[in-house]
A and B are shown apart, each in its own frame.
Chain A
Amino acid sequence: EAEVAQSPRYKITEKSQAVAFWCDPISGHATLYWYRQILGQGPELLVQFQDESVVDDSQLPKDRFSAERLKGVDSTLKIQPAELGDSAMYLCASSSDRGDTEAFFGQGTRLTVV
């Protein structure tokens, strides 16, 4: 069964360092999302791609976060510099149709900033 792949599963980094997360969506899914989930809360959208184009990054803290999806397949989310408040689960999801069908989630990357 096709899955959304994310790596790493866990990441511990010192504040002010750079950190990057990788996501490989289900083959053929044009829509890719990055969500951030703070412990005890629901996922909140950071950025949404349609193929290689960003269609919504209104909630992405652009002074420190960046995201790209070169060639419209896999995607990288970067934080530089990391802050203590960035500690959270970062979830990648993909779907075949924006908002109108189910989204498939990866296992997430648990980031701890110390």
Chain B
Amino acid sequence: SQQGEEDPQALSIQEGENATMNCSYKTSINNLQWYRQNSGRGLVHLILIRSNEREKHSGRLRVTLDTSKKSSSLLITASRAADTASYFCATGQAGTALIFGKGTTLSVSS
């Protein structure tokens, strides 16, 4: 079963533009994580935000979490062609496996 739902399913932008992806989930969580997956490869962890946090930054990434709305957003600023990939949110609860959404496919053209 999948808990998270990313929106949009696909996003196409130009280099230098910002990319925003959203994730909604259904049940209470301990943390929410974002992963990137290049075509045909494994997933790479980007950032983890805990349920008592509202915003977190890592380089060009900014993640927000609104537990009252059960939603999160991932902002990638000044996108590069190398950011082209699929992005997944995953919800975590202590003692259980991460549950992933269906992902957003980001295409950045130069």
Contact = CB atoms under 8 A, between A and B. Distances in A.
B45 interface: yes
Interface string A29-42: 00001010000111
Interface in A4-31: 4, 6
A100 interface: yes
Most buried by A among B43, B44, B100, B102: B43
A105 to B, nearest CB: 4
Interface residues of A, number: 29
Interface of chain B, main secondary structure? loop
Interface stretch (A43-51, A63-71, A72-80): A43-51
B61 interface: no
A102 B43 CA distance: 11
A102 B45 contact: yes
Contact of A43 (B33, B92, B100): B100
Interface of chain A, main secondary structure? loop
Contact of A42 (B30, B31, B42, B103): B103
Contacts of B33: 102-103
Contact of B96 (A41, A98, A104): A98
A99 B30 contact: yes
B97 A105 contact: no
Contacts of B96: 48, 56, 98-99
Contacts of A35: 100
Given A42-B88, A99-B30, 16 more contacts: A35-B100, A41-B103, A42-B4, A42-B101, A45-B99, A98-B96, A99-B31, A99-B96, A100-B30, A100-B92, A103-B45, A103-B90, A105-B35, A108-B40, A108-B42, A110-B40
